[in-house]
A and B are shown apart, each in its own frame.
Chain A
Amino acid sequence: KAGVTQTPRYLIKTRGQQVTLSCSPISGHRSVSWYQQTPGQGLQFLFEYFSETQRNKGNFPGRFSGRQFSNSRSEMNVSTLELGDSALYLCASSAQTGGSSYGYTFGSGTRLTVV
């Protein structure tokens, strides 16, 4: 069974640019969540999508957005990049459907560097 696939693995962008990250969940998983991981802040929740709808959102500015497609694949977009956006962006998928959480399986992440 294929795991969670994130592309690209590494990105270098310039301040002010925008970037789109992609995530393909485990087959059959309909919940996809995104996290930002930095040494100082740890794993910070960005948002969660389920059946193409954003179900939960973290405390990030509106420059961070996402979407989910009918095949459960998800994309995350960051506009007007800032140096502080440099981080590892992790996507995770879950088989959960209702209210309980079954835990996530993480992808390998996208390492974004903003220069």
Chain B
Amino acid sequence: QKEVEQNSGPLSVPEGAIASLNCTYSDRGSQSFFWYRQYSGKSPELIMSIYSNGDKEDGRFTAQLNKASQYVSLLIRDSQPSDSATYLCAGSPYSSASKIIFGSGTRLSIRP
């Protein structure tokens, strides 16, 4: 079982709609979770971090964490064509909190 799992997509969402990206993790003791965005040919860029159960909002982005269900999600409101990218979910294992393990990423395409 992979430590962090994501649906690889592609996920196609119309411009202006809400894009919902999901991720599950296997290490129940994990404390820190991250969402990175990676444009084609570029390196990953940190867009959200979340450490506590519940929602965390930053502009059009909302990260959600449910530790009981071992589930992390990212919502992008008012999706724009510039949001088209691969979104990587990541978490830090309980045994190695300074190490970050990435999921395989979900490709998101925003159609005009």
Listed in ascending order, the chain A residues whose CB lies under 8 Å from chain B are 31, 33, 35, 42-43, 45, 48, 50, 55-56, 90, 94, 96, 99-109
B25 within 8 A of partner (CB): no
Give A80 to B79 CA distance when docked, in angstroms.
46
B64 within 8 A of partner (CB): no
- How many whole Å from A63's CB to the nearest CB in chain B? 20
B43 to A90, Cβ gap below 8 A? yes
- How many whole Å from A104's CB to the nearest CB in chain B? 6
Contact of B32 among A45, A101, A109 (CB under 8 A): A101
Inter-chain contacts of B72 with A (CB < 8 A): none
Inter-chain contacts of B73 with A (CB < 8 A): none
Listed in ascending order, the chain B residues whose CB lies under 8 Å from chain A are 31-32, 34, 42-46, 49, 51, 88, 92, 96-105
Q: Which residue of chain B is the closest to A109 with respect to CB atoms?
A: B43
Q: How many A-B residue pairs have CB under 8 A?
A: 61
Inter-chain contacts of B96 with A (CB < 8 A): 55-56
With A101-B32, A102-B49, A103-B49 as known contacts, state yes or no: A45 contacts B43, CB within 8 Å.
no
Give A96 to B32 CA distance when docked, in angstroms.
12
Inter-chain contacts of B49 with A (CB < 8 A): 102-103
- Can you report 13 residue pairs joining A to B where beta carbons are below 8 Å apart? A33-B99, A45-B99, A45-B102, A55-B96, A55-B98, A55-B99, A99-B97, A101-B97, A101-B100, A102-B32, A104-B46, A106-B45, A107-B43
A56 to B34, Cβ gap below 8 A? no
With A104-B46, A106-B44, A106-B45 as known contacts, state yes or no: A99 contacts B100, CB within 8 Å.
no
Give A23 to B44 CA distance when docked, in angstroms.
16
**Most chain A beta-carbon contacts within 10 A, residue among B32, B34, B45, B100:** B100
Give A49 to B40 CA distance when docked, in angstroms.
28
Q: Give the top 4 A-B pairs by smallest Cβ distance, nearest first.
A: A43-B102, A106-B43, A56-B99, A42-B104
Contact of B98 among A35, A42, A56, A107 (CB under 8 A): A56
Give A99 to B32 CA distance when docked, in angstroms.
10
A50 to B98, Cβ gap below 8 A? yes
Give A104 to B31 CA distance when docked, in angstroms.
15
B103 to A105, Cβ gap below 8 A? no
